[in-house]
Amino acid sequence: MITKRIIPCLDVNKGRVVKGVSFINLKDAGDPVELAAYYDKQGADEIVFLDITASHEKRKTIIELASKTAEKVFIPYTIGGGISEIEDIREILKKGADKVSINTAAVENPSLIEKSSKIFGSQCIVVAVDAKYRENDFWEVYIHGGRTPTGKNVTDWVAEVEQLGAGEILLTSMDRDGTKDGYDIELTSAVTSAVNIPVIASGGAGNLEHLRDVIKLANADAVLVASIFHYGEYTVRQAKEFLKSEGINIRI
């Protein structure tokens, strides 16, 4: 049966990894490609790059990242961060990226999901959704890196993007992101129940039990992990061995 995926996430600014990455055994721990290759060796199932470059150079740096990664990394990788044009998606995929993730542009221009999934196939269009708890069963979708509320209910929105052709949801809990208190099980359950496409849970991983819980209790198909890997608290291999020992189907 299909395995659950462990996906390290790298934030990249102007071609460099941001947020402390504290590996001492890498030539250049700030090089996103070298880090991705390192995670591939450790057994990561995929890599997600989030490009946060905010300048006119952005298009160039993001395409360069796609291209350089393809030469050294032989597992699938997704690139996201401010992508809003069909031509940019085309270029990124052409360089060897497997998927692009779209967030703000998907809300502002939902036809982008429809068009891009028709042209390139649903499987390479990931819609990233940032959600914040409001009340009862209402989580609100935010855009612009979590600065702008949209009024949209997350469960309605994910169902809509599935209809439009998205192939996967990258779901981030804004309430949990950066807390290390664990993934938001309720939010993730609400989303995995609302769609029939794979869901990557993100935000809040602080230990390996958190990974297990969101997979077992919320049926996440994959978990996005950042700081606990980057700061060397756990290796990808340790995470996978733990999940396997907990009876989860994992590729070792």
| CA–CA separation, 152 and 124 (whole Å) | 24
Q: Give the CA radius of gyration of the chain.
A: 17
Phi, psi of 155 (to 5 degrees): -70, -35
Q: Which of 18, 26, 52, 70 binds another protein (CB under 8 A)?
A: 70
Using DSSP, state whether 133 is helix, strand or coil: strand
Clarify whether 221 is annotated catalytic: no
| CA–CA separation, 196 and 198 (whole Å) | 7
| CA–CA separation, 123 and 158 (whole Å) | 15
Q: Which is nearer to another protein, 134 or 251 (CB)?
A: 251
**Tokens of residue 30, six digits:** 């700030």
Q: Which of 197, 201, 205, 214 binds another protein (CB under 8 A)?
A: 197
| CA–CA separation, 230 and 86 (whole Å) | 32
Check residue 237 for interaction with another protein (CB under 8 A): no
Task: In angstroms, give the least distance from the CB of 39 to another protein.
Answer: 11
Question: Residue 221 to residues 46, 191, 202, 231, 248: CA-CA distances in angstroms?
Answer: 12, 11, 11, 24, 11
Check residue 235 for interaction with another protein (CB under 8 A): no
Q: Which is nearer to another protein, 123 or 238 (CB)?
A: 123
Check residue 120 for interaction with another protein (CB under 8 A): yes
Check residue 42 for interaction with another protein (CB under 8 A): no
Block residue for tokens 């935000």: 203
Task: In angstroms, give the least distance from the CB of 12 to another protein.
Answer: 20
**Which range, of 23-31, 72-80, 149-157, 173-181, touches another protein by CB under 8 A?**
72-80
Clarify whether 175 is annotated catalytic: no
Check residue 63 for interaction with another protein (CB under 8 A): no
Check residue 95 for interaction with another protein (CB under 8 A): yes
Nearest Cα residue to 65 out of 20, 116, 121, 13: 13
Q: Which is nearer to another protein, 2 or 24 (CB)?
A: 2
Q: Give the residues lining the site for another protein (CB under 8 A).
A: 1-5, 40, 45, 70-71, 74-76, 93-96, 98, 118-124, 167-168, 196-198, 221-222, 251
User: Which residue numbers are catalytic?
Assistant: 11, 130
